[in-house]
Structure 1
Amino acid sequence: MPKVKRRVYRATYRKKRPRMTFSSAFRFSVVVVACVAIGIGIISMLVSTLTPRLASRLNGSAGPYNVMGKPTISADFINEVLAHYHSPAQNKGQALYDEGVKYNIDPAYALAFFMQESQLGTQGVASVTHSLGNIRATPGHPSYDGYRKYDSWEEGFEDWYQLISKQYIQNWGLTTVDQIIPVYAPNSDNNNEQQYINSVEYMVDRWRNGSIEIS
């Protein structure tokens, strides 16, 4: 009989995958949760940083740097800021606040302009003129060294609010910091418009967050 060659079958074994234990599953879950939390934190930080400026530029008067609206800081807080910087207008926070309410302008912006223009009355002619915003002199109005002059800080506050409300908002339709400053303090008058805008927005943000010190 012819010899029949037997086939030799090689046994193959599938490598078993290691089973995930409870401890390894727990560690994996912790890593996933941590990664998600970090991602959310980064996204939140980016949104909080970019949203105000984007909204201000895209929405115009609807942006968060619209000077119109209810107060976002209190009269007591304004007094704290004035005292901290040794302003000659100390204890006038209530007046600055009340005029803002009267003209529907957030006093946080008035305070920021006051800081930008004269370091809250501690620099330049503001200590003499009692002018919040160093408004240029105009015919028929008392003046000093080319700027409007007032008998009191209260008068200076009201004139600034009135100027922004009637001239910039009502007559010209300018409501945001980005729109107002290029007219209020143009580059042609030896100002840096973008720096002025950035400073005002930065100060308003700091004060709204409860920080008295802006540096």
Structure 2
Amino acid sequence: MPRVKRRAYRATYRKKRPRMTFSSAFRLSVVVVASVAIGIGILSLLISTLTPHLASRLNGSAGPYNVTGKPTISAGFINSVLDHYHSPAHGKGQALYDDGVKYDIDPAYALAFFMQESQMGTQGVASVTHSLGNIRSTPGHPSYHGYRKYDTWEEGFEDWYRLISQEYIQNWGLTTVDQIIPVYAPNSDNNNEEQYISSVEYMVNRWRNGYVEIS
């Protein structure tokens, strides 16, 4: 008799899946929570890194801490800062703001330079010269102890904006705080460039977030 070929059947036996125990479920939940935490941390880091770039784009600037662009603080807020620090230039916030619009420079940076150079005109020669940025004297310009001197704060404000706009931005192509300060206040002139840069950027950030006082 011929042999009968037996059909080959697939194995119908299946291994039983292990049941989820409390300990394995706990370990799984720990892994999931840790993964989520790590993901959130990475996302937060990316956001914090990109925020200055995004903010500068929204404010009309071309990059991080680019001094050019639309105002990011109001004239009223500038007056609040000047009043808080008992500046002799109190009440001049509108002039500082308007000059920023005129020269396409965010007045937050002008205010930060004012703070860094003379504590809003309360220290050094600025109380006499009415100078926002303690600009060195040049031939043909009134001076006091080696610095340009102005009759009013408004004149001092506009001369600083004009200097940054015409010399630093237009002539030299320097637009960011990192680029401007090493020329404006170099280490060779007994300044601390790194500290100056970080101070200006910190103040601008704080004011943009609505804080009047620099802690």
The bucket for the TM-score relative to the shorter chain is 0.7 to 0.9
Structure 1 residues 35 and 121, CA gap change in structure 2 (3 angstroms): same
Per-residue deviation, residues 139-193 of structure 1 (Å, max 9, x unmatched): 1111111111111111100000000000111111111111111110011100011
Q: What percent identity do the matched residue pairs reach?
A: 77
Structure 1 residues 211 and 41, CA gap change in structure 2 (3 angstroms): farther
Is 2:197 aligned against 1:212? no
The answer for the alignment partner of 2:119 in structure 1 is: 119
Contact 1:52 1:64 in 2 (8 A): no
Contact 2:99 2:157 in 1 (8 A): yes
The answer for the alignment partner of 1:45 in structure 2 is: 44
Query: For residues 169 and 33 of structure 1, what CA distance do their matches in structure 2 show?
Result: 50
Report the TM-score when normalising by structure 2. Answer: 0.80
* Structure 1 alignment gaps of length 5 or more: 1-13, 56-60
The answer for the alignment partner of 1:192 in structure 2 is: 192
Structure 1 residues 83 and 44, CA gap change in structure 2 (3 angstroms): farther
Q: Number of residue pairs matched?
A: 194
Structure 1 residues 17 and 191, CA gap change in structure 2 (3 angstroms): same
Cα-Cα RMSD:
2.8
Name the SS of the counterpart of 1:66 in structure 2: coil
Name the SS of the counterpart of 1:62 in structure 2: coil
Query: For residues 207 and 39 of structure 2, what CA distance do their matches in structure 1 show?
Result: 26
Amino acid at match of 1:80: S
Larger deviation: 42-51 or 159-168? 42-51
Per-residue deviation, residues 82-128 of structure 1 (Å, max 9, x unmatched): 11111111111111000000000000100110011001111101111
* Structure 2 alignment gaps of length 5 or more: 1-14, 55-60
| 1:11-30 correspondence runs (5 A) | 17-19=18-20
How many Å apart are 1:18 and its aligned residue?
2.3
